[in-house]
């Protein structure tokens, strides 16, 4: 786009060759071209910066979530049931999930749910017909909701169907068909409808593969699922769904799907979510076309083995974030070792284990910091199994006869790793395979691994999704890995296009790109860059605000004489040190720092105060708690939703208290009981002593919106 290279010998002016064009005109053209290309390059720089901001924040959020989850796992694995925190966590994980499938089927029965006469939405009858499904799609286009009865019926049938499917679907283009492959949709129904509009509905003539991440982030995740499942039921041989890392109830707690379902289905939401948990675990893991093209959501690692993947019990991995519950009818062996009956010897073991909580997670946190994936010597980078083994060792599990459990655990760990790698990994340009510490799960794998794994399985191409790409698709690893992403405007309006692939018997991918929302297409380049940029900056300001205290402390390091001033150079260094997002702060500086500079110095107190968003209505006495709230509001919300096991949307004061205690344990900061009670008092608890999760979180989300409104951009050029 203007910054490429053109043949140089054509560029020298040859006046004699041009009949009626004067030299000055040629010079003028050259000048205009030169100028315009510089202008576009500057915009491109801004766009790329904005992109990096969004991506950093996204991945750091994901990393956060996984760290939180690992913390809970650790609690589960190493604390006895005498520990209240551990019990709270075990409640969240639904460890009492012992029903058989048949019992579950009774539980999910839709038959008693009546559809009232006033219901104006679509009615489904089974077996589904094409007109049923088109009616469903139209209904969703008109923002209607499918009644819970039909939802459960549809999901129930989907579950039954998926249980018959193998882990890896094999498809062929032998009937001279072209297969359409779509990437992440993330609740963007508009994009799915656009694809269907441009490419046609799924059918025997138009087979599709949907490569995971159907839900979260966008607001119409359940609609997407229902449409995809409906087409799956209609054409089970021609529609193929792969599981993505977001087809995971633990991830859904944080990224919006759980909330969406509970909001849309207040009475039956919980049941729907439970059934979806099962469905997600039964989604196939990969699709192979003509034995030559492998399609899966995240990627591979050097240990990826399709034969192992084909044989494992995929449905046992309800969440890819959690290793399996131990097999066997009896209580978990580890627990037996750690659960004394008042025996002194054992209680000392327990004490030792407890202190280890404060050991291992810190290390884990340090290891999970985002840093270069360039392989340097002396770099720690534990594989998942190594980490598991280390934790167990630290917990003094040598007490047990590990050989008994070892075999079972080992196989489980291998299977688990295969799945995590498939769902979470990202490609990198260097050779090798290292843990994906930016996301917190899976690997970064290099071109040598691609070659080895593909050759070993006699495959020629790997198609994956998982990463947003500006043009909707991107090749890497010498054209052997192709990323396809179908949610346009993912980070914000105008941030990227979506794309899908058409693949015929020649197995050469053809791309179709699109971008939802008319208004984006009509914006000029500059307007759309400007818009996305404002949004990214807003997100960044929130991050900065959340780290206010730490920032001030860091600035003060550079201001020993307490002048209140700091050089812009030091500003950049300090900000990176605190936020650790790896962003080019100097380039971003002009957007984040305005007005407070004279002669290259900044009054940092003023600047930090200027970042302040509007205070929420609640009076929060303790400011450090407010900051913790901002900084960790996603974690807080995740914990709330996990605690709220009956999905009522309400938590009691006691649970509220427990949440903060858990959070403080995880963060290793001190949050005093008094601070928590003060906070609780200032919040409007309901008469029965519970608070509404949504209301609580909303109080802080409103703040983000009002600020954005305050800073409404000037009218577009």
Partner 1 sequence: MFVKFIEIHNFLLSENIITETQKRISNAFDVFDHESNKTVDVREIGTIIRSLGCFPSEADLHDIIAELEEEEPTGFVRYEKFLPTMTKILLERKFRPITEDLLLQAFEVLDQQKKGHLEPEELTKYLTQEGEPFTQEEMDEMLSAAVDPDKNVILYRDFVSMMTFDDTR
Residues taking part in catalysis: 246
Burial of 702 (0-12, 13-18, 19+ CB in 10 A): middle
Binding to partner 1 by residue 4, rule CB under 8 A? yes
Part in contact with partner 1 (CB under 8 A); list of ranges 201-209, 335-343, 397-405, 582-590: 582-590
Part in contact with partner 1 (CB under 8 A); list of ranges 16-24, 68-76, 122-130, 382-390: 16-24
Q: Which of 358, 374, 577, 701 binds partner 1 (CB under 8 A)?
A: 374
Burial of 177 (0-12, 13-18, 19+ CB in 10 A): middle
Strand partners, 603: 565
Closest distance of CB 341 from partner 1, Å = 53
Specify the DSSP class assigned to residue 238.
T
Q: Which of 129, 291, 354, 590 binds partner 1 (CB under 8 A)?
A: 590
360: nearest Cα among 394, 327, 322? 394
Neighbours of 654 (CB within 10 A): 10
Strand partners, 184: 485
Part in contact with partner 1 (CB under 8 A); list of ranges 350-358, 547-555, 586-594, 642-650: 586-594
Instruction: Check: CB of residue 422 under 8 Å from CB of residue 291.
Output: no
Binding to partner 1 by residue 11, rule CB under 8 A? yes
Q: Which of 131, 307, 372, 380 binds partner 1 (CB under 8 A)?
A: 372
DSSP symbols for 94-105: TTT----HHHHH
For the segment 426-485, give every residue that binds partner 1 (CB under 8 A).
Answer: 428-430
What is the C-alpha end-to-end distance of the chain, expressed in Å? 23
* Long-range CB pairs of 510-514, under 8 A, 24+ apart, other chains included: 511/472, 511/473, 512/198, 512/199, 513/471, 513/472, 513/473, 514/191, 514/194, 514/195, 514/198, 514/472, 514/488
Binding to partner 1 by residue 593, rule CB under 8 A? no
Binding to partner 1 by residue 36, rule CB under 8 A? yes
Closest distance of CB 532 from partner 1, Å = 15
Binding to partner 1 by residue 291, rule CB under 8 A? no
Closest distance of CB 110 from partner 1, Å = 48
Q: Which of 15, 39, 329, 450 binds partner 1 (CB under 8 A)?
A: 39
Closest distance of CB 459 from partner 1, Å = 24
For the segment 376-435, give every residue that binds partner 1 (CB under 8 A).
Answer: 428-430
Q: Which of 21, 82, 120, 406 binds partner 1 (CB under 8 A)?
A: 21
- Closer to partner 1 by CB, 400 or 476: give it: 476
Closest distance of CB 483 from partner 1, Å = 13
Part in contact with partner 1 (CB under 8 A); list of ranges 62-70, 113-121, 369-377, 458-466: 369-377
Binding to partner 1 by residue 172, rule CB under 8 A? no
Strands 208-210 and 239-241: parallel
26: nearest Cα among 43, 13, 36, 16? 13
Part in contact with partner 1 (CB under 8 A); list of ranges 32-40, 76-84, 152-160, 652-660: 32-40
- Closer to partner 1 by CB, 7 or 458: give it: 7
Q: Which of 42, 141, 379, 393 binds partner 1 (CB under 8 A)?
A: 42
Instruction: Check: CB of residue 644 under 8 Å from CB of residue 625.
Output: no
Instruction: Calculate the alpha carbon distances from 15 to 12, 21, 24, 33, 541 in Å.
Output: 9, 8, 10, 18, 54
Closest distance of CB 48 from partner 1, Å = 5
Q: Which of 16, 37, 121, 685 binds partner 1 (CB under 8 A)?
A: 37
3-class secondary-structure state, position 33:
helix
3-class secondary-structure state, position 510:
strand
Neighbours of 74 (CB within 10 A): 20
Strand partners, 426: 444
For the segment 52-91, give every residue that binds partner 1 (CB under 8 A).
Answer: 52
73: nearest Cα among 377, 347, 420? 420
- Closer to partner 1 by CB, 193 or 481: give it: 481
Binding to partner 1 by residue 327, rule CB under 8 A? no
- Per-residue contact string for residues 500-539; x = within reach of partner 1 by CB under 8 A: ------------------------xxx-------------
Sign of the alpha-carbon dihedral angle for 85, 88, 92, 94: positive
Helix %, strand %, coil % of the chain (to 5): 50, 10, 40
Instruction: Check: CB of residue 685 under 8 Å from CB of residue 691.
Output: yes
Part in contact with partner 1 (CB under 8 A); list of ranges 88-96, 387-395, 489-497, 577-585: 577-585
Q: Which of 341, 599, 688, 717 binds partner 1 (CB under 8 A)?
A: 717
- Closer to partner 1 by CB, 26 or 608: give it: 26
Q: Which of 284, 432, 564, 584 binds partner 1 (CB under 8 A)?
A: 584
Closest distance of CB 27 from partner 1, Å = 8
Closest distance of CB 89 from partner 1, Å = 35
Part in contact with partner 1 (CB under 8 A); list of ranges 6-14, 303-311, 312-320, 406-414: 6-14
* Nearest 10 degrees: Cα torsion 90, 96, 102, 104: -50
Specify the DSSP class assigned to residue 179.
E
DSSP symbols for 600-653: TEEEHHHHHHHHPPPPPSS--S-HHHHHHHHHTHHHHHHHHHHH-TT--SEEEH
Residues that bind partner 1 (CB under 8 A): 1-6, 8, 10-13, 18, 21, 24-42, 44-46, 48-49, 52, 371-374, 428-430, 524-526, 569, 582, 584-587, 590, 717
């Amino acid at each position: 786009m203007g910054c490429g290279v053109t043949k140089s010998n054509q560029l020298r002016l040859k006046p004699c060759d041009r009949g009626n064009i004067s030299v000055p005109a040629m010079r003028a053209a050259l000048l205009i071209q030169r100028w315009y290309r510089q202008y576009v390059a500057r915009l491109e720089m801004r766009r790329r910066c904005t992109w990096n901001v969004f991506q950093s924040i996204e991945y750091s959020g994901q990393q956060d979530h996984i760290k939180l989850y690992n913390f809970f796992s650790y609690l589960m694995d190493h604390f006895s049931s005498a520990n209240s925190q551990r019990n709270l966590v075990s409640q969240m994980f639904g460890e009492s999930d012992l029903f058989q499938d048949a019992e579950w089927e009774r539980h999910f029965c839709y038959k008693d749910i009546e559809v009232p006469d006033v219901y104006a939405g679509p009615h489904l009858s089974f077996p589904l017909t094409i007109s049923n499904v088109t009616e469903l799609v139209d209904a969703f286009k008109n923002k209607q909701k499918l009644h819970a009865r039909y939802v459960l019926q549809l999901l129930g049938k989907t579950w039954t169907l998926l249980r018959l499917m193998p882990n890896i679907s094999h498809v062929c283009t032998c009937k001279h068909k072209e297969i359409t492959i779509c990437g992440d949709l993330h609740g963007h129904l508009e994009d799915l409808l656009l694809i269907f509009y441009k490419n046609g509905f799924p059918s025997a003539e138009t087979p599709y593969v949907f490569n995971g991440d159907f839900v979260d982030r966008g607001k119409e995740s359940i609609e997407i699922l229902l449409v995809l499942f409906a087409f799956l039921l209609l054409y089970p041989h021609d529609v193929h769904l792969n599981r993505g890392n977001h087809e995971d109830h633990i991830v859904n707690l944080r990224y919006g799907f759980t909330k969406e379902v509970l909001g849309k289905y207040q009475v039956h939401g919980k049941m729907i979510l439970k059934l979806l948990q099962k469905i997600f675990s039964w989604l196939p893991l990969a699709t192979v076309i003509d034995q030559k093209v492998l399609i899966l959501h995240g990627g591979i690692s050097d240990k990826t083995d399709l034969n192992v993947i084909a044989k494992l019990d995929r449905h046992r991995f309800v969440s890819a974030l959690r290793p399996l519950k131990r097999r066997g009818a009896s209580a978990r062996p580890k627990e037996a070792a750690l659960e004394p009956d008042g025996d002194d010897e054992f209680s000392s073991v327990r004490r030792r284990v407890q202190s280890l909580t404060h050991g291992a997670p810190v290390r884990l946190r340090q290891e999970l910091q985002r840093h270069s994936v360039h392989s340097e010597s002396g770099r720690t980078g534990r594989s998942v199994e190594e980490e598991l083994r280390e934790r167990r060792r630290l917990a003094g599990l040598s007490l047990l006869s590990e050989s008994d459990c070892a075999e079972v655990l080992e196989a489980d760990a291998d299977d688990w790793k295969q799945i995590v790698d498939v769902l979470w990994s990202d490609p990198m340009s260097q050779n090798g395979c290292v843990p994906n510490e930016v996301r917190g799960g899976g690997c970064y794998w290099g071109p040598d691994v691609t070659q080895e794994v593909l050759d070993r399985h006699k495959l020629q191409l790997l198609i994956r999704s998982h990463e947003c790409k500006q043009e909707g698709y991107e090749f890497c690893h010498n054209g052997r890995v192709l990323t396809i992403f179908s949610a346009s405007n993912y980070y914000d309006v105008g941030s990227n296009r979506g794309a899908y692939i058409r693949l015929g018997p020649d197995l050469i991918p053809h791309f179709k790109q699109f971008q939802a929302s008319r208004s984006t297409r009509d914006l000029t380049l500059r307007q759309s860059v400007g818009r996305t940029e404002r949004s990214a900056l807003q997100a960044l300001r929130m991050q900065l605000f959340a780290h206010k205290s730490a920032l001030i402390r860091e600035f003060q390091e550079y201001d020993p004489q307490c002048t209140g001033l700091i050089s812009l150079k030091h500003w950049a260094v300090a900000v990176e040190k605190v936020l650790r997002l790896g962003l080019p702060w100097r380039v971003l500086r002009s957007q984040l720092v305005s007005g407070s500079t004279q002669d290259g110095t900044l009054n940092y107190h003023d600047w930090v105060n200027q970042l302040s968003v509007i205070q929420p209505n609640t009076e929060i006495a303790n400011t450090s708690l407010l900051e913790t709230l901002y900084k960790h509001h996603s974690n807080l919300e995740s914990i709330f939703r996990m605690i709220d096991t009956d999905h009522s949307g309400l938590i009691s004061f006691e649970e509220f208290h427990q949440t903060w205690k858990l959070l403080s344990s995880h963060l290793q900061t001190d949050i005093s009981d008094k601070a928590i009670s003060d906070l609780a008092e200032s919040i409007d608890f309901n008469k029965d002593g519970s608070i509404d999760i949504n209301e609580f979180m909303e109080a802080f989300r409103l703040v983000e919106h009002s600020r954005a409104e305050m800073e409404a951009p000037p009218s577009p050029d």
